[in-house]
Chains A and B, each alone.
Chain A
Amino acid sequence: MAKITASVYTSHVPAIGAALDLGKTTEPYWQPLFKGYDYSKQWMKDNKPDVIFLVYNDHATAFSLEMIPTFAIGCADSFTPADEGYGARPVPVVQGHPELASHIAQSVIQDDFDLTIVNRMDVDHGLTVPLSLMCGQPKAWPCPVIPFAVNVVQYPVPSGQRCFNLGKAIRKAVESYDEPLNVHIWGTGGMSHQLQGPRAGLINKDFDNAFLDKLISDPAAAAAIPHIDYVREAGSEGIELVMWLIARGAMADVNGGARPKVAHRFYHVPASNTAVGHLILENN
């Protein structure tokens, strides 16, 4: 049977992708940030998954206002890195895992989560920056990836509690897949940031670190945080953190198993407008 062995959490700031693509990683501004991911790149080599289930959000790239799916699962063979207005990032095409993705869609929809099934979709920095941070700049990504896009652009976005419960359903779906695959689930976006209005540039280190603590040791409490707390404390775009709860809900301890091991924790301010947070949790 397939198994979720670990979860990874990371911000997905577009400027990080640009810094990597333009060879700026050793500049004083960027060096401390990329250093925080040295451990993670080695960890990826030592704990190579067969499939990554990658929770992210689309930033008005694949989805305009014509259609706004709350949860969209990518079931295609492959996904092309998008041109977001600056030209596409020079990163490998993302290979999908249509069989596992379709299996998860069927199982999770039957558990009352109305996923939108997407068979053609370009993927933006929300998906490719986490891959770059965790894998560096390889010719091909180390394994297939199932893109899972969450609407966090048009309010209301799904609640933290709903995301957490969805994570549990995804875990159940993965564990009922016959092939013995090692699956990682990643939750991306955040941490505190606001990109609009006179309040742009808001950062809240206390909130972010309390969120990381809670996510590790009391995820049910993290799931109970209402939308308005993210907006007031972590900025209007800090609400992306609900996506981390999908990954956390898929971990063993939430579903009657042992507590996870914290393999890595990192926090840095700033990357462009944003606070960067990163965690790796391993199931025991």
Chain B
Amino acid sequence: MSLDKPYLDVPGTTIFDAEQSRKGYHLNQFCMSLMKAANRERFKAGERAYLDEWPMTEEQKKAVLARDLNWCISLGGNIYFLAKIGATDGKSFQQMAGSMTGMTEEEYRNMMIGGGRSANGNRVVGEDGDAQAHRQPQGKAGQKEKV
């Protein structure tokens, strides 16, 4: 009998379960290494060479170099680990979270000040909320990239 995973149909969301954790083990442990100031310096001095010290997949390395957090998460990354990359880059948690929506920093910040993203339409895949796949990217940052 397969495991019950009722969270697979939540839009715009990847639950970091045992399967994701297994896929992302080396990616997340690489992130963990950035907790040490000396490692942050070494990473910044040569990102590719530093990544090559880890038994990560080529795609995981590319996702890190691109700073594409959604891509990292799809490959087993977890946001609390990935946040160490953001900290190394001097980014706040809000900047990191916003970067996954396609909004500019200002757009995302204003959404939060306005009370945040509504759960309406965003509970189950197939509804029409702003986190649904057919409505990505959501903001100007993402649209700019698309052009």
Contact = CB atoms under 8 A, between A and B. Distances in A.
A65 B21 contact: yes
Q: Bin the interface of chain B by size.
A: 35 or more
A94 B17 CA distance: 32
A197 B100 contact: yes
Interface string A205-243: 101000000000000000000011001110010000000
Interface in A136-172: 153-156
A156 B29 CA distance: 20
Nearest to A272: B94
A258 interface: no
Describe B's contact surface by its main secondary structure: helix
Interface size class of A (residues with CB under 8 A): 35 or more
Contact of B131 (A14, A202, A272, A275): A202
Given A156-B17, A199-B10, 8 more contacts: A64-B32, A86-B87, A198-B131, A198-B137, A200-B101, A203-B118, A228-B7, A272-B93
Interface of B: 6-7, 10-18, 21, 25, 28-29, 31-32, 34-35, 37, 40, 69-70, 73, 78-81, 83-84, 86-88, 92-94, 96-98, 100-102, 108, 111-113, 115-119, 122-124, 131, 133, 136-138
Interface of A: 14-15, 18, 29, 59-61, 64-66, 83-86, 153-156, 192, 194-205, 207, 227-228, 231-233, 236, 269-270, 272-273, 275
